[in-house]
Structure 1
Amino acid sequence: MVESELLFFFIISVWFLVDKKGLTLLNSLKRIWVLEREILFWSLTLFICSLIFLSMPFSLHTLLSSLFPLVMGTWWYASAYAMFLLFMPFLSQGLRILGRRRHAQLCIVSLGLWGGLGLLPKIMPVVQLGRTQFYGFFYLFILITFYKWYMDEFTLRESLMLVVAGEVVIIVYWFVSNFLEPHFSSETSLALERFMVADWSLPIVMIGFGLFSLFNSFCFSNVIVNWLAASTFGVYLIHQYEPVANLLFVRLFNVVDIWDEPYAFVLSFVVLSVSY
């Protein structure tokens, strides 16, 4: 769930930024400053609340992480996104210069390398984009900009097909990896399971693009929906703050405790609904 949420954050932000005039380094620095102020508010608030209500032990590291959340990587996504913003003006200009044909070739190479080859267990560890490595945003930026600049927007049917195809890839891959698990080391088996739901994996990208294009095709405006949408980043920051995450997903709603229950799927859905 978190992986799809982060992908949505990134797609939406790039979608509305990439064609803006004045996409300069100075503007990127201004956006980083706005981001810094927002996460500084949340880091200090959560730090104080965790000390008071969650009995979090005080340490110099937690204090510094709260005072300098971007630099200390308190939330990997925010830090990685800030680094990406520094490169975005240059990436955008470079991709424009490439033109449609060369940009399309770059998309094919990127999808083949991090999408297709990444599904193979012997090659996957080499080409897999690490979660905290901000150049995964470069990969997504290449795909998003080509789609927006040169392609017709997906129809409703095409968007749904992309989402379903991503889900099918995950299901089939899990079945095949479980069937072949005796032939893999425990380390490889664990890597296979994690790869399918990693932030930059092929099925997650397919599902993210499909859902975004699906909802982007609707012309709908609602004050409540807009308010909820504006609050999602704060919700992410709260739930991914380490003391809060430990409280929710280790102490209160540990998936290990319900995994073997008859209605594990239903219980998991309820837990996610309550948590988020």
Structure 2
Amino acid sequence: MMAAHAHSVMSPRAKRNSSVETLRILAMLMIVTSHCVMFTNLDALTLPFGVNKVLIETFLYSGGKIGVVAFFAISAWYLSEAGGVRAGLRRVWILEREMLFWSIILLAITVVVDRSQLGLTLAVGSLFPTVTGLWWYPTAYAVFLLFFPFLVRGLRALDRSAHAALCVVMLVLFTGLDMVMPLSAVGLPGGNYLSFVYIYVLITYYRWHMRPMKTATVWWSLGIGYLMIAVGAVAAGVLFEKTGRLQVLQVYLGKVEFRLPVLMIGLALFVLFERHEFHSAVVNTVASSTFGVYLISEYPTVRQWLWQNPLIDFAALAARYPLLLIPSLIGIAVLVFLACTALDQIRELLFHITIDRHRGRWFDRLSAAVNAALANRKETV
């Protein structure tokens, strides 16, 4: 009774499973750390072959796409019980508000701070961030949201065997062929909504038709996935060290969200965190700003200011103090994450006292007006 009462008086934010929200934070930290590795002056793929290089390629570089899978898996899990065209459009509307806020604010800051970075592409992209793909993830997610009401109805119409067959077909075409025939013309391009459709099909099959995985199985999946990436990094690292060619093979297995090791790790992380439950308003508050962290840190000019900053010289650090390289990469990523979180909390406060007082009301009014207009048209016909 006490537990039930405690749950009933929690705030809406505290009611969210903080274990899953912890994964949301971890996933975004992995994404930011990966960007720190890729976009600073550290050329990780040309570092001298050794433990440091393999660890960076296995855990930090590949962490970006693993984080994407884990981050999207959270949304896919909850969307697997949702549906309706209106619900999908409403989510896109709410997503667009946050994107527009940051794109316009950051465009204005660019105009004031560094006008040399301003161009027509950035200006138009900032005014229309979704359709121009200013940020790839929210654009892909918005398109996915438009498709998902129809997708979930179609998947619900399939029985277990048909859904399983669909998963097998997608696994063979999009993951299997990609592993053995990298230039296959039937694979996914990566970095768009089709990857989310693929992951959603896998997530819904697991949720609707499978028994929960045993914890030992989840850990095995996690370990084998990282082992595959590490073996690929070592083998390709030796090849590159000897020949100076094919350096991209060192991170091939962790470079795209639909590759087998990335799927294994990302989905295993989600299953591992989802099966536990605790409630923390602090964790959930930080997690609520993870999308904002992505928008701020990945805005084109901010990305350049952050990772091309002359004060951040990871190349020199790698040459002089290689043992400090990994802690420094993670440390800088954590600082960026915290700074962007603090900024997005200000945005949340502004939204709370303005447009979120009646969250989605403008969309509801527009939707009602459209429905009324359609109803009147039917009556006149």
Shorter-chain TM-score above 0.5: yes
Mapped to 1, the partners of 2:74 and 2:127 lie a distance apart of 28
* Alignment partners' CA distance in 2, 1:262 and 1:189: 20
CA contact (8 A) 1:56 1:243 kept: no
Partner of 2:259: 201
Query: What is the letter of the counterpart of residue 106 of structure 2?
Result: L
How far apart, in 1, do the equivalents of 2:66 and 2:183 lie? Answer: 21
In 2, Cα distance between the equivalents of 1:173 and 1:191? 7
Please, which moves more after superposition, 69-78 or 52-61? 52-61
**Residue 271 in 1 paired to residue 271 in 2?**
no
Among candidates 253, 257, 271, match of residue 312 of structure 2: 253
Q: How does 1:58-77 map to 2 (within 5 A)?
A: 58-77=118-137
- RMSD of aligned C-alpha atoms? 2.3
> Is structure 2 residue 220 aligned with structure 1 residue 158?
no
Report if aligned partners of 1:25, 1:89 keep a CA contact under 8 Å in 2. yes
The aligned residue for residue 166 of structure 2 is 106
Kindly tell me: are residues 191 and 47 of structure 1, through their superposed partners in 2, closer, same or farther at Cα, counting changes over 3 Å? farther
Question: Is the contact between residue 75 and residue 240 of structure 1 (CA under 8 Å) also seen in structure 2?
Answer: yes
The list of structure 1 runs, each at least 4 consecutive aligned residues, that deviate by more than 6 angstroms after superposition, is 182-185
Distance 1:258 1:204 in 2: 29
Equivalent residue in structure 1 for 2:108, among 42, 48, 57: 48
Q: CA deviation at 1:181?
A: 4.8
**What stretches of structure 1 of length at least 5 have no aligned partner?**
none
**Aligned residue identity for 1:13:** S
Q: Which residue in the other structure is 1:15 paired with?
A: 77
In 2, Cα distance between equivalents of 1:130 and 1:158: 30
- Could you tell me how far 1:224 is from its partner in structure 2? 0.3
Matched, 1:178 2:217: no
**Which deviations, in whole Å up to 9, do the C-alpha atoms of 1:114-161 show, x marking residues without a partner?**
3233223xx113255323332111111111110110112223322222
Name the structure, 1 or 2, with higher relative contact order (CA <8 Å, separation 6+).
2
Query: In structure 1, what is the equivalent of residue 322 of structure 2?
Result: 262
Structure 2 gaps of 5+ residues are 1-29, 32-64, 338-381
Change (3 A) 1:71 1:36: same
Partner residue, 2:196 = 137
Q: What is the total number of aligned residue pairs between the two structures?
A: 271
Q: 1:128 to 1:155 in 2, by over 3 A?
A: same
Structure with bigger gyration radius: 2
Q: Amino acid of the residue matched to residue 35 of structure 1?
A: L
Distance 1:182 1:59, change over 3 A: closer
Residue type at the aligned position of 1:91: L
- Identical amino acids, percent of aligned pairs: 34
Q: Residues 12 and 274 (structure 1 numbering): CA distance in 2 closer, same or farther, change over 3 Å?
A: same
| Counterpart in the other structure of 2:283 | 225
Q: Give 3-state SS (helix, strand or coil) of 1:152's partner.
A: coil
Shift of 1:100: 0.7
- Which residue number in structure 1 is paired with residue 152 of structure 2? 92
